[in-house]
Structure 1
Amino acid sequence: MPVTVLLVDDEPLVRAGLRAVLEAQDDIEVVGEAADGAAVIPLVRRLRPDVVAMDVRMPLMDGIEATRAVLRTVEAPPKIVVVTTFENDEYVYEALRAGADGFLLKRARPAEIVHAVRLVAEGESLLFPASVRRLAARYGDGDGSPAARAVLERAALTEREAQVLRLMTRGLSNAEIAARLVVGAETVKTHVSAVLAKLGARDRTQAVITAYESGFVAPG
């Protein structure tokens, strides 16, 4: 079965470009388009896409609110990748905090766009650690937000889980974490799953955001 994608952007040329890039792949199918976040929920419910490529800035409902709405109201929601012009944008950080699985620059090369869609469809986060670190340093609460600190305290991570979370904030894959800790990949997968469950995080991106927001790791 192909990976199905819904394109959401108020610029027709951007949607046309993304469609052309994605539909050139045998394993990806664009099933719909929308020009504003306000149209996303009914389309998601009707088309059931695997991935939504969501513009951040749109006139009626931006990508942040649309992301929140989808995750709040849609059962088994799709993966969401926000598409942006500028990576160091407060909108991008807020979209990640809202639950987006990652972000993609509009100037990205076709191969990068395709890779991003496949990656999030497989359940991985499209995480750029340096960019997320800069965003957290610029827009996050440097002293750690009380809510995020409370989440981390309630999680009561083990020493090993804390090590894994620190390595996740650096963007390491399970295999890279396994090599760093000299353990098996399946062991790391178990630890990552435990970290996500304890933090109540939807994916690695959300866990990393919580790590920065709580002051568990310093974003600077």
Structure 2
Amino acid sequence: MDFTPHLPRLQNPDLSSLEVIRGRRAVVAMGSPALLTFFCHYPSQLRITGAATTAQEVLDLLIKNKPHVLIATDHLEHGCGIDLVVQAKQLQAKLRTLLIATQPQRSQRLKAAIKAGCNGICLESRIGFGTLRAAIGAVRGGGVYIDSGLADLFRQVHADHTPLRPITQRETQVLTLVTQGHSNPEIGAQLFLSPDTVKSHIQNLRHKLQARDRTHAAVIGLCRGLVPWPDT
């Protein structure tokens, strides 16, 4: 079911001005109408422009709305949320994706989402413990979020990635902030570095970690124990 026409009624009107300022459009895909309704009320600092319970409806919304962020549960009313994340990344490479795992035992399917570049995965059973807010903040800001309950799974996927050379203390600080979703100017402000210096550190990290991009570098850093897990 496509819930998009009902969004003005479902979303909290007190957050509308903040969501517009943030400017991050999101599409939400959840198999449970009750969970979807809850999420539309959740103060996520995202402007939800589409919401549906089936994979095909969500793909149509992605093409129509071109959002910055996709948030999906692995179980949908029709279709699979994990497959949806993979298809969405193929459709829109720069799309930020957060998967809420309701069935974490489906490890092989979750690995496919990780390899496709899923930017965050959190467990549905833990979203009441502050992890959902942290996950959305990291993914929305350009970082990654990996629930510590899925740490072993991520390590298996990236077990073959080892640094070409040890990373420096400063590079570790930069990588930690990248993982948390901070932009280059924000990292520079915290570490008293110029944006160009931060960019140089990230380029060095990508080379040392053999990473495709900054998100991939952050994931490898987490999996290799180079930076702390975000919710520990």
TM-score if structure 2 supplies the norm length? 0.62
Instruction: State the one-letter code of the partner of 1:96.
Output: I
The structure 2 residue matched to 1:200, chosen from 212, 219, 227, is: 212
User: 1:19 deviation in Å?
Assistant: 0.8
Cα distance in 2 for partners of 1:136, 1:112 equals 17
User: 1:64 deviation in Å?
Assistant: 2.6
User: 1:194 deviation in Å?
Assistant: 3.9
Residue in structure 1 matched with residue 55 of structure 2 by the alignment: 37
Cα distance in 1 for partners of 2:128, 2:117 equals 25
Provide Cα deviations, 1:36-63, integer angstroms capped at 9, x if missing partner. 2333332112112221111113365323
Cα distance in 1 for partners of 2:146, 2:85 equals 17
Where does the alignment leave 5 or more consecutive residues of structure 1 unmatched? none
Matches within 5 A, 1:1-220: 1=20, 2-22=23-43, 27-58=45-76, 60-74=78-92, 77-87=94-104, 89-90=106-107, 91-106=109-124, 107-109=126-128, 112-128=131-147, 130-136=148-154, 140=156, 144=159, 159-160=167-168, 164=172, 187=197, 190-196=200-206, 198-201=210-213, 203=215, 206-207=216-217, 209-210=219-220
Cα distance in 1 for partners of 2:64, 2:42 equals 24
Describe the SS at the equivalent of 2:118.
Answer: coil
User: 1:89 deviation in Å?
Assistant: 4.8
Identify if the C-alpha distance between structure 1 residues 118 and 212 changes in structure 2 by more than 3 Å, giving closer, same or farther.
Answer: closer
Q: Is the 8 A contact 1:51 1:117 kept in 2?
A: no
User: 1:66 deviation in Å?
Assistant: 1.7
Cα distance in 1 for partners of 2:77, 2:61 equals 18
Identify if the C-alpha distance between structure 1 residues 109 and 70 changes in structure 2 by more than 3 Å, giving closer, same or farther.
Answer: same
Provide Cα deviations, 1:52-80, integer angstroms capped at 9, x if missing partner. 11111336532332222222222x63210
Identify if the C-alpha distance between structure 1 residues 54 and 185 changes in structure 2 by more than 3 Å, giving closer, same or farther.
Answer: farther
Identify if the C-alpha distance between structure 1 residues 194 and 127 changes in structure 2 by more than 3 Å, giving closer, same or farther.
Answer: farther
Describe the SS at the equivalent of 1:108.
Answer: helix
Number of matched residues?
Answer: 196
Describe the SS at the equivalent of 1:64.
Answer: helix
Provide Cα deviations, 1:151-185, integer angstroms capped at 9, x if missing partner. x7xxx557549x749x75xx688899xx9xx9958
Q: Is the 8 A contact 2:202 2:214 kept in 1?
A: no
Identify if the C-alpha distance between structure 1 residues 29 and 212 changes in structure 2 by more than 3 Å, giving closer, same or farther.
Answer: closer
Q: Is the 8 A contact 1:11 1:35 kept in 2?
A: yes
User: 1:82 deviation in Å?
Assistant: 0.2
Cα distance in 2 for partners of 1:189, 1:87 equals 35
Identify if the C-alpha distance between structure 1 residues 66 and 172 changes in structure 2 by more than 3 Å, giving closer, same or farther.
Answer: closer
Percentage of matched positions with identical amino acids = 15
Cα distance in 1 for partners of 2:84, 2:70 equals 11
Cα distance in 2 for partners of 1:119, 1:216 equals 18
Where does the alignment leave 5 or more consecutive residues of structure 2 unmatched? 1-19, 227-232
